[in-house]
Structure 1
Amino acid sequence: MSDGMELFDVFAEGSGSLSSGTTIKQEPVDNAAIQKAEMNKRKQKESRERANQLLGQLSTGAAADKDIRITSSDGDDEAEDTEILPKRPKTETNAEEFPGLASHPRNNIKIVETEGNCSHEVVLPPNMEYVPLKPRTTAPAKMYEFQLDAFQREAITCIDNSHSVLVSAHTSAGKTVVALYAIAMSLRDKQRVIYTSPIKALSNQKYRELEEEFGDVGLMTGDNTLNPDASCIVMTTEILRSMLYRGSEIMREVGWVIFDEIHYMRDKERGVVWEETIILLSDTVHYVFLSATIPNARQFADWVVYLHDQPVHVIYTDYRPVPLQHFIYPAGGSGLYEVVNMQGNFREDKFTEAMNVLSQVGDAGQGGITRGKKGGTAGTSHVVNIIRTLKERDMIPVIIFSFSRKECEAYATQMTNLDFNTEDEKAKVKEIFVNAISLLSEEDSKLPEIGRVLPLLLRGIGVHHSGLLPIVKEVIEILFGEGLIKTLFATETFSMGLNMPARTVLFTSARKFDGKDYRWITSGEYIQMSGRAGRRGKDDRGLVILMVDQQMGQDVAKQIIKGAPDPLNSQFRLTYNMVLNLLRVEGINPEYMLESSFYQFQNYDALPQLYENVEKKKKELAACKIDRETEISGYYQMEKQIDVLKEAVKEIVTKPKHLVPFLQAGRLIHIVSNDKDFGWAALLDFHKKANPVDPLGSDVMYVLDVLLFLSAESAKNLSDITQLRPPNENEKGIVEVVSVAISCVSEISAARVKLPQNLKAYEGKQSAGRVIKEVLKRFNGIMPLLDPLNDMKIRDAVLQENIIKLQALEKRKESHPLRENSKFDEIYKQYEKKLELEAELKVAKTELKKAQSLLQLDELKCRKRVLRRLQYCDENDVITQKGRVSCEVSAADELMLTEMMFGGIFTELATPQLAALLSCFVFEEKAGGSKLADDLSGCLRAMQEYARRIARVTKESKLEIDEDKYVESFKPHLMDVVHAWCTGSSFAEILKKTDVFEGSIIRCMRRLEELLREMVGASKAIGNRDLETRFEEARVLLKRDIVFTASLYL
């Protein structure tokens, strides 16, 4: 019996008539798709030949290196193996030949002269010569009532010549002007145009704008479909991808595709959708890419030219229509410090003044709500004071960015004594709010969440984050756009896409929690949010204020405020839905998608530099000649043996059962952490805490509070222990109390010191430091250690044996003949440098080898293996009935849902239970969970068992997976909420069941409705009317009242 059949038997329990043994023929597509596929085949063949030529020449330069093999994988003789980059015979050549090579056929680059503050480059296919753009001789497709900026004029000229264009400019610079012109030209020329937006909310807003301007506009987001036969259709990128996979008739008529916010392609979760879409689009389509400033705009255009064999123009400007001033507000201070002026110059004197203020008030972090730890709301008074000052100086409206939804609301509720609106403005706010809320039922309109927000809005204060009710969030957007909200507390999502600038932007913290740790915000994040400051045509300048509540180095501040924008790097990853869809369509395959990805392109692009790096390291290594190298090598190996034995001794000695009896206050211990030697420290105290790896287990950790010498710079930020450093060689250092794990103890001294009483005060800590230094001086820096055998009385045979070996090696080391050589230290350093170069060469070769391979090919093989074993496709990569179902599911885990469908679990559940179970696939937030009813916990356990089975098959197919994490990724926290909703409970009633934000509940239910629609389609694809009806019934139960209130933009 084959692997596939054996495993299918495990999953097929209760599968009824849903046999997966049926093979589905690959689907024919329309002629345009077939032509595209044939062209893709030719391109694939050409690119393989180019890659083979390159790899053959590359392997030449590495002929002497047996560890560099030009292969596409680790070798696997299973049926699914497909060699994309075959091995080439190695031939002799010189490294100097490499600069003439290219990782792909080099496109032509032409720099076009421009007027004004923008740059214009055009990337052309290798076989195409540059022809200057023709000036427009007819009336423009669209007239503007204002003078266009240089970058807008350049981009519009490209569009007039039917050339694709990438426009990279700051937020609010006016990129939309270019998109509007492309739409106007398409409508004039009777072509269809697609406008893609990264998220549904932006699509709705953009639809409203374009419909008012052009009229002939439709919308397709999954949630809403309006006027789908329109000449201009606004849609999410996911919808466009789905249309391409299905060979939609609409795509035949499309002349232009506009990708708004293309920098979203670097999003880890959804960036792959952009890559798939751009790869799948026809070569006959022209493109307008709108992006925030990205440093590698030309590389992206280079990739598009490589894919579609047409010129792409890159119009770039870092010009801001409204210049920005950047200020720092130090917590505890009383003023703002201009650190970057309107000319973009960093003012070091003002930055130093701001940091001095922090030093004076202490680095206790008494200023923001977040300061690298959870903290409270101590910084609210500072925010209130800043906003009051901004109001007095007419520097509003202001957007206050905070990195927590709860903090946004906490700040807003503290604005009790501030009122920004006149009576007339209050009346307008109330009118807009009442009109919007009238769309709700009487019961929903009385929700406490709605009642709480109106008093704030009347005073011109708003809150904007993803946890709000969608209708409330849209009201706030409309009011802010109308100038009726003067102070808006928002999370960073407000900075993405929405064109809603303000006079001032205020950051409540320079640090954020990224899901793993607290860190400084990046320059890219700062650029995106600070770009909302300054309204074109209204403000002569925009103000950006960064609240800082702990010391930050000048280099950190410069990197945040003056740093370069984040590059556009590929986030391409394989999914089962992608693989199956590519197997389903004739003429294209998953390997082609891999080879065509921006991910692969960027790696190919790096080949010349990587090869040069290998050659450079080789030359440096060849030039490194060591006198008496054999003897030095022996001495070096002996030192390494000593280090290993010392570590083995330390591991036994520092076990709590041996070390704890000697942890008295004042004991001097040697601290080493993360390869940083902090020297001798004085122990103050120790305590036990639960092991974070297994918090419920019996194992505990010991944490020591020690007086430690630190560099003055790193001591400014004790909250970030990862950046703590010992003092430099000639630095006095600062003594601070730091908590360290017991594993950081390298040696334990026999000496103890008497410590001062007051160690909280600065002077007390420095006095203790002087005592430690005096003891070290007395022993000439060589501290007497507790003997593990005689003093600590450790009885351990392995320890005793290691100590004997260590003593013998130390004796040999001291008497080694090389130590008599006067140049010993110099020769030894040279040898260490050579070893360092050898290690660097090994890394360089590994990086080169990785870039030469078709990345992720091995993962593709493993994924195909999973699909075969679960019978989603056969040995010839023809998809089966199960594969057909999976092709229909992209909103959630397609394998889990397909296995559960064929396993019969959905047929056994009542409709509300069915909806509740599926909520586990679409809810992603962390939340506390209440005890589930028996019927829900039973189906949850059944689902978790399916997850474990799939994880086991994945492991057997040689794909890395953490079984527990995979099972836990299906979150049951809203199961009872969804079940109650589907049995008729009101929204007010289900809110009592959870502490999850209202907006998060609605977002989960809307995603659930989208998943149910896909499950209806999946059931229909295999002709299962019963399941189709059940999923449709669940969708009907779900889709009611406030959860599915229409967008105000529609």
Structure 2
Amino acid sequence: MTHLDAFTSLLDFGLDDFQRRACEALEAGHGVLVCAPTGAGKTIVGEFAVHLALAGGTKCFYTTPIKALSNQKYADLVAVHGHESVGLLTGDSSINPDAPVVVMTTEVVRNMIYAESRALDGLSHVVMDEVHFLADRFRGAVWEEVILHLEPSVRVVSLSATVSNAEEFGDWIQTVRGDTSVIVDEHRPVPLSQHMLVGNRLFDLFDPADRAPERRTGARPRVNPDLKRQIRHRILLAEDDREARGRGRRSGAPRHRGGRGAVLSRPHMVGVLDREGLLPAIDFIFSRAGCDAALSQCLRSGLSLLAPEEAAAVDEVVDRHLSDLSPGDADVLGVDEWREGLRRGLAAHHAGLLPMFRHAVEELFVKGLVKMVFATETLALGINMPARSVVLQRLVKYNGESHVDLTPGEYTQLTGRAGRRGIDVEGHAVVVWTPEVVPEEVAGLAGARTFPLRSSFSPEYNMAVNLLDRLGLDGARELLHRSFAQFQADRSVVGQARKLHESQRALRRLDAELARAAEARGLEPGGGEDAEPYEGFLGYITLREDIRRRERDLKYRKRIHTEDAIVADLAALKRGHVIAVPVGRHRGLAVVVEPATQAADPKPLVVTEDAWCGRVALRDFVNPPEVLGNMRLPKNADRRTGRGRRDLASALRSTGIEMPRGRSKKRSDAADDPELRALRRTLREHPAHQLDNGDELFRLAERRNRLLRDIVNAERAIGERTSTLGITFDHIVGVLTELGYLEKVRDASESTGHTMRVTDAGRVLSRIYSESDLVVTECIRAGVWEELSPSDLAAVVAALVFESRRDSYGGIDTMPGSRSLRVALGATVDIWNRVTAVEARHRVTPTREPDTGFSLAVATWASGRSLTEALVLAGERGQLLSPGDFVRWNRQVIDLLEQIRLCVGTDTRLGGTARAAVKAIRRGVVAAELG
């Protein structure tokens, strides 16, 4: 019996074709990359790797991107193999770390590799779940580091969501790891239907007629015409309601809410989903506050989705999860309201909740005791909470910098939660219609099923010292060249290089042809290295190009000057100013009814002669708008109703102000430019100027110019793509050398004749895995934390890991706390300033500034004070910090304190203080979550 036969005999279901192919490749000794939709069952392949390791007496590491997934996978594997065979390492938790199978976050195995841990002995398989995380701009490099550093004998099992460049990714893994089978499956085991919810009616997104066999042509299905008609109908209803409300306000009639075009409230939306048989459902809302508000709205409505006996089952699960919570903390955390929602089958799920709350919600959802979850997108990252349907209220999210549209990949990841294998015949994606949602755009998202995987790999300080210590200078550069980032760049460079080579060959042929043609007309071809400017025919062509370039430059400058003037004049418009709108459907006179509010992009609100009301902007003007006159407006001018707009338009026409007849043409900037006049004079005096423009020479010269442009562009693209990683690495090495973490030593075996040796300070840096790793190590070297108490050390460390949602850093002198804490924080900021000065000299992106927004809270907590006090001090603008964030930031402080302790040794004063600080923080809700 094969290992695969033995494994499948333990399952109560048969393997799909892609699962079997991947497992067979794994048993044959290959690595595998499996790309399949969410919910397709990729993890079966990872579990077979665990089976192979246990059967062969070797080790398997199962890595995940987030701790919640690690905890979940640990529980799954323990249920199959028992506690003695499975361990867990997440930084927070260490359970049976010497077990043959250990579940861990990807950072843990990366740190083991750099530390050359003995735990790697006997390792035969590493499962990298959610490997597409390597595109994450903050943490993605870790996945590439692990893939590149693992011993060649280790079989890597990479499990990815469906990506459009799976073959490219697989080619890279084969290049760096050897024999790897790429298995791609785009079939969803549970089909997904796409819907839109318009009011209280559910519509298919795509035309049902396209499902008929005679209509299946392979083209993308059309948007449902019934859906489009309903949306048009509701828009008209909404406009009627707005006008009715306007009339009501003028007549003094009482206001009414929620017109016929209004969007459905969340309790009613849940009711529609229940009526259509689409529960349990996950409603993805891209805001924690939005999730909590949606839950509160449903609770206020009295909505309940559970029977009394189900509510009793909920209590049993909740009591078990809250067993470690003290009564005082339970009051602060709002346990009663949270429990009430669960007893009605309703819950929120986001990072602001305590992990124990989230875990309870996940368990209840899987048990069918929570029917509706309002969640942020983190729920889509592999956590086992499949639903019958997924709801999207908006197709825009905040990415940390700005509001951006959902990508097709994000839409696929979110809606992939819909459809429970073995339970549902099909899953359902439901987009709630609002006036901003366009069905064709939703169809575009739903139709683009895949997204490309792009590397985010870039060298950092900790990575650099570890690479140089293990591999030397040449070896470190060689590893950078083997990264997926360089592989993708090289792939594109191959095409650019081929294009460059072809263009250079074509240029040589064309130059020979052009030389023959010029000599036949008695002209020197010119263009040699010793040729005078504009000598010969090629010089004449260059002269023409210089003239065109100068004309384009002058035209561009004039356009920018004109646009600046238009923006300034639009921003200066006042209420009642009458202007001319020169272009577009509503060309004519317009009166300003509301000035612009933003000077950078001014868009005043106007009413035009044809009773259109809207905002005008830069795009609507060719020249700066001229104030043609003023018009007296009523204090409460009605621009919202059709009648009010018509009255304003009539008053505008009666002012007697007329549209300007047109502007006199200004003299061209080109006519007054001395450089351009000189170039044109030289052109007229050139012998080749007498030739007919239709001459074959000019056709050849134009072809030559195009080739030269192609060559310049290809050379620039190749230079940019192939040098980025190497240049960044060199700059980082420069910083580390100046600060004494590296030193240059002679080494004849290196291509440069020297290498970079890691100093004792560099070895400390090699064990600090933090965004502020260099500042942390500089502070340790300078001894500025030696005299701190445990709570004050925790506060200083918090400043190096915490990042406020808003810019909250307000200086050290104004911060409450002990004098020693303020001195230490001041010294830490001074060191940060010195580090960033060195970074600036070497053109390295500066390390993020210390942020004291969490420092006082963690010091208070570590001093033994109450959770309420700590949450108040951790809040921003008078708001309590969410309990989940409080625990998360404490985890990160503990993690960095532990790294510091290991670097300096527990027997040192700083090491002992770090150990005491960890113990002081690890209590109450923090201890309950860390285990």
Compute the TM-score of the two structures, normalised by the length of structure 2.
Answer: 0.80
- Matched residue SS, 1:906: coil
Q: Which residues in structure 2 correspond to 1:517-916 (within 5 Å)?
A: 517-552=402-437, 556-585=441-470, 589-614=475-500, 633=545, 636=548, 639-640=551-552, 642-643=554-555, 646=558, 650=562, 660=572, 665-668=577-580, 682=590, 684=592, 703-705=602-604, 707=606, 737-738=614-615, 740=617, 746-749=623-626, 751=628, 759-761=639-641, 782-783=662-663, 805=672, 842-851=712-721, 853-876=722-745, 877-916=756-795
**Per-residue displacement from partner, 1:788-815 (whole Å, max 9, x unpaired)?**
xxxxxxxxxxxx99899389999x99xx
Is the Cα–Cα contact under 8 Å of residues 164 and 450 in structure 2 kept in the other structure? yes
Is the Cα–Cα contact under 8 Å of residues 358 and 549 in structure 1 kept in the other structure? no
**Per-residue displacement from partner, 1:886-922 (whole Å, max 9, x unpaired)?**
1111034111011112222102333211111111122
User: Match of 1:320?
Assistant: 188
Q: What is the distance in 2 between the residues matched to 1:942 and 1:364?
A: 65
**Residue of 325, 342, 352 corresponding to 2:228:** 352
Q: What is the distance in 1 between the residues matched to 2:630 and 2:505?
A: 54
Q: What is the letter of the counterpart of residue 24 of structure 2?
A: T
User: Match of 2:918?
Assistant: 1035
Is the Cα–Cα contact under 8 Å of residues 704 and 739 in structure 1 kept in the other structure? yes
Q: What is the distance in 1 between the residues matched to 2:240 and 2:30?
A: 57
Q: What is the letter of the counterpart of residue 555 of structure 2?
A: D
User: Match of 2:529?
Assistant: none
Q: What is the distance in 2 between the residues matched to 1:615 and 1:708?
A: 59
Name whichever of 657-666 and 280-289 sits farther off.
657-666
**Per-residue displacement from partner, 1:334-381 (whole Å, max 9, x unpaired)?**
543433769684435245335424642559999xxxxxxxxxx99884
Q: What is the letter of the counterpart of residue 646 of structure 1?
A: K
Name whichever of 918-927 and 151-160 sits farther off.
918-927
**Per-residue displacement from partner, 1:459-512 (whole Å, max 9, x unpaired)?**
010110000011111111111111110111101100101121111111111111
Is the Cα–Cα contact under 8 Å of residues 194 and 430 in structure 2 kept in the other structure? yes
Seen in structure 2, the aligned counterparts of structure 1 residues 346 and 609 have a Cα distance that, compared at 3 Å, is farther
Seen in structure 2, the aligned counterparts of structure 1 residues 519 and 434 have a Cα distance that, compared at 3 Å, is same
Q: What is the distance in 2 between the residues matched to 1:246 and 1:972?
A: 31
Q: Which residues in structure 2 correspond to 1:212-611 (within 5 Å)?
A: 212-215=79-82, 216-309=85-178, 311-330=179-198, 334-339=201-206, 345-350=221-226, 352-353=228-229, 355-357=231-233, 359-361=235-237, 381-415=264-298, 416-552=301-437, 556-585=441-470, 589-611=475-497
Seen in structure 2, the aligned counterparts of structure 1 residues 442 and 161 have a Cα distance that, compared at 3 Å, is same
Q: What is the distance in 2 between the residues matched to 1:658 and 1:807?
A: 33
Q: Number of residue pairs matched?
A: 837
Q: What is the letter of the counterpart of residue 878 of structure 1?
A: R
Name whichever of 386-395 and 399-408 sits farther off.
386-395
**Residue of 142, 165, 188 corresponding to 2:55:** 188
Seen in structure 2, the aligned counterparts of structure 1 residues 383 and 1030 have a Cα distance that, compared at 3 Å, is same
Is the Cα–Cα contact under 8 Å of residues 600 and 854 in structure 1 kept in the other structure? no
Between the two proteins, what is the percent identity of the paired residues?
26
**2:35 is equivalent to residue 168 of structure 1:** yes
Q: What is the distance in 1 between the residues matched to 2:207 and 2:53?
A: 43
- Matched residue SS, 1:446: helix
Q: Which residues in structure 2 correspond to 1:910-989 (within 5 Å)?
A: 910-927=789-806, 932-933=815-816, 935=819, 936-961=821-846, 966=847, 968=849, 970-989=850-869
Seen in structure 2, the aligned counterparts of structure 1 residues 586 and 670 have a Cα distance that, compared at 3 Å, is same
**Residue of 860, 868, 872 corresponding to 1:992:** 872
Q: Which residues in structure 2 correspond to 1:988-1027 (within 5 Å)?
A: 988-993=868-873, 994=875, 995=879, 996-1020=881-905, 1025-1027=908-910
- Matched residue SS, 1:544: strand
Seen in structure 2, the aligned counterparts of structure 1 residues 579 and 156 have a Cα distance that, compared at 3 Å, is same
Is the Cα–Cα contact under 8 Å of residues 604 and 616 in structure 2 kept in the other structure? yes
Q: What is the distance in 1 between the residues matched to 2:547 and 2:607?
A: 33
Q: What is the distance in 2 between the residues matched to 1:399 and 1:424?
A: 23
Q: What is the distance in 2 between the residues matched to 1:768 and 1:998?
A: 56
- Matched residue SS, 2:895: helix
Q: What is the distance in 1 between the residues matched to 2:778 and 2:379?
A: 39
**Per-residue displacement from partner, 1:275-309 (whole Å, max 9, x unpaired)?**
00010001111121111111111222211221122
Is the Cα–Cα contact under 8 Å of residues 582 and 620 in structure 2 kept in the other structure? no
Q: What is the distance in 1 between the residues matched to 2:56 and 2:631?
A: 88
- Matched residue SS, 1:944: helix
Seen in structure 2, the aligned counterparts of structure 1 residues 536 and 684 have a Cα distance that, compared at 3 Å, is same
Compute the TM-score of the two structures, normalised by the length of structure 1.
Answer: 0.71
Query: Relative contact order (alpha carbons < 8 A, sep ≥ 6): 1 or 2 greater?
Result: 1
Is the Cα–Cα contact under 8 Å of residues 365 and 549 in structure 1 kept in the other structure? no
Q: What is the distance in 1 between the residues matched to 2:355 and 2:14?
A: 37
- Matched residue SS, 1:235: strand
**2:51 is equivalent to residue 143 of structure 1:** no
Q: What is the distance in 2 between the residues matched to 1:806 and 1:663?
A: 40
Seen in structure 2, the aligned counterparts of structure 1 residues 1029 and 741 have a Cα distance that, compared at 3 Å, is farther
Seen in structure 2, the aligned counterparts of structure 1 residues 502 and 363 have a Cα distance that, compared at 3 Å, is farther
Is the Cα–Cα contact under 8 Å of residues 567 and 618 in structure 2 kept in the other structure? no
Q: What is the distance in 2 between the residues matched to 1:885 and 1:620?
A: 56
Q: What is the distance in 1 between the residues matched to 2:307 and 2:854?
A: 42
Deviation at 1:749, TM superposition (A): 4.0
Kindly report the root-mean-square deviation, in angstroms, between the aligned alpha carbons of the 2 structures: 4.6
Seen in structure 2, the aligned counterparts of structure 1 residues 1006 and 838 have a Cα distance that, compared at 3 Å, is same
Is the Cα–Cα contact under 8 Å of residues 399 and 490 in structure 1 kept in the other structure? yes
Q: What is the letter of the counterpart of residue 508 of structure 1?
A: Q
Deviation at 1:451, TM superposition (A): 2.2
Name whichever of 607-616 and 740-749 sits farther off.
740-749
Is the Cα–Cα contact under 8 Å of residues 189 and 421 in structure 2 kept in the other structure? yes
Deviation at 1:661, TM superposition (A): 8.8
Q: What is the distance in 1 between the residues matched to 2:554 and 2:797?
A: 59
Deviation at 1:885, TM superposition (A): 1.3
**Per-residue displacement from partner, 1:591-650 (whole Å, max 9, x unpaired)?**
122111111111122233223444677899979999996896576456436526635864
Q: Which runs of 5+ in 2 are unaligned?
A: 212-219, 243-257, 515-536, 685-690, 746-755
Seen in structure 2, the aligned counterparts of structure 1 residues 155 and 414 have a Cα distance that, compared at 3 Å, is same
Is the Cα–Cα contact under 8 Å of residues 923 and 1004 in structure 1 kept in the other structure? yes
Is the Cα–Cα contact under 8 Å of residues 333 and 357 in structure 1 kept in the other structure? no
Is the Cα–Cα contact under 8 Å of residues 654 and 743 in structure 1 kept in the other structure? no
Is the Cα–Cα contact under 8 Å of residues 645 and 802 in structure 1 kept in the other structure? no
Seen in structure 2, the aligned counterparts of structure 1 residues 619 and 748 have a Cα distance that, compared at 3 Å, is farther
Deviation at 1:658, TM superposition (A): 13
User: Match of 1:16?
Assistant: none
